Structure 1
Amino acid sequence: MEYKISPIGHIKTPFTQKFGIPRQGLGLSIATGRIVFDQSIRPHEACEGLSEFSHLWLLFLFSEHLDHLPKQRIRPPRLGGNTKLGVFASRSSFRPNNIGMTLVKNLGMHGEVLEVEGVDMLNNTPIVDIKPYIVYADSMPTADSSYATAAPESPLEVFIPPQLVSAAKEKNLPINLIIQVLSQDPRPAYKKTKNDPKFYTIQLYNIDIHWRVDGSTVVVCDIN
């Protein structure tokens, strides 16, 4: 039996490509997002009372993977990208039903748009549901999280030359967001233990940021 799910809206985020998106939302991301609701939703009615909750669960579709075959086993980045686990023991996007979830901070309604903080989703990702985070039910201090017991430390320092700091500010590109994304080392896991002279590019708000890794430091080479 099949069931139909229709998006209630889409979220606008800084991330215009998958490469570089922080993993696990609020735990690793300071990026903000704006949920623009579908015409079938009346935001001021559907979101009535939402302001009483500081945090929200967003359920969404991994829309870039809808045409990909699901995987039974995957390689979690937290395990170095080599060890395989069952897909249901991970938050991989290669899932049978392509459904993701993330915890965000509620920044409130602005007009008919809901603003949130801590997003880890591509720009224009379809949102299928919003649920309030309820402390007594959703927080379990004694829970065991296996290989993901704590947020990973940011392994890299980030150096942005003064002229590029100025260039970012001219483009209204938040410096702290650049630093956070790059300090988490978005490269493939197998690259992190080798000498890597390659130059990389990530996009934030459709602006290209070119960078390389020199030892334990990310050096931003250009912003355009």
Structure 2
Amino acid sequence: MENKTEFIFKPIGYVRNKSVSVPRHWSVSDIEGELVIDSQYKDGIKDIKAKEKICVIFCFHKSPPFSQEKLTQKPPHIDAEKGVFSICSPYRPNPIGLSVLEVLEKSENVIKVRRLDMLDGTPILDIKPYVEYKEF
């Protein structure tokens, strides 16, 4: 790899929830909370509607720095070591996570969601639409 460009990301908002602990993955979570989007980005969420799914890209802001020893890890629900790129561990070379959340409602700059697997205060980097795969 010759070009090792570095990127700086600035959060567009933060997660707000009252849970002390969260499940390790959105697919097994029923936790509700809010995505509080900075007001400067409010127009960017104007078309998000209740009952939709959205993909939320976030930062694992509480994860310790990554080290080469973490390239293989043993998830708590699997009885074997796996490569970091085949699991959803928060210990990653770039501490970026992705969750698919169910939109419950939206008002102004706040999106109420279900299926949270993010801690209160988690920085949100981006939101994208969830698009079902369709064979052509």
Report TM bin, short chain: 0.7 to 0.9
Is the aligned partner of 1:96 residue 2:89?
no
Is the aligned partner of 1:132 residue 2:129?
yes
Aligned length: 129
Match of 1:74 in 2: 73
Aligned with residue 45 of structure 2, among 22, 44, 47: 47
- In the alignment, residue 102 of structure 1 is paired with which amino acid? S
Q: CA deviation at 1:62?
A: 0.3
Equivalence map 1:132-211=2 (5 Å): 132-136=129-133
Match of 2:114 in 1: 117
Quick one: structure 1 residues 21 and 53, their matched pair in 2 at CA, closer, same or farther if it must change by over 3 Å? closer
Q: CA deviation at 1:115?
A: 0.9
Is the aligned partner of 1:7 residue 2:4?
no
Is this contact kept in 1: 2:50–2:106, CA < 8 A?
no
Separation in 2, partners of 1:87, 1:49: 35
Q: RMSD of the alignment, in Å?
A: 1.9
- In the alignment, residue 49 of structure 1 is paired with which amino acid? D
- TM normalised by structure 2 equals 0.85
- DSSP-derived class of the 2:85 partner: helix
- TM normalised by structure 1 equals 0.53
Is this contact kept in 2: 1:11–1:33, CA < 8 A?
yes
Separation in 2, partners of 1:104, 1:35: 10
Which of 1 and 2 has greater Rg? Answer: 1
Shift >6 Å, 4+ stretches: none
Q: CA deviation at 1:52?
A: 7.4
Task: Give CA-to-partner distance per residue, 1:44-100, whole Å, 9 cap, x none.
Answer: x101222277101111000001x42242111112214xx211100101000000000
The percentage of aligned residue pairs carrying the same residue is: 30
Separation in 2, partners of 1:113, 1:13: 12
Structure 2: where are the runs of 5+ without partners?
none
Structure of greater relative contact order (alpha carbons < 8 Å, 6+ residues apart): 2
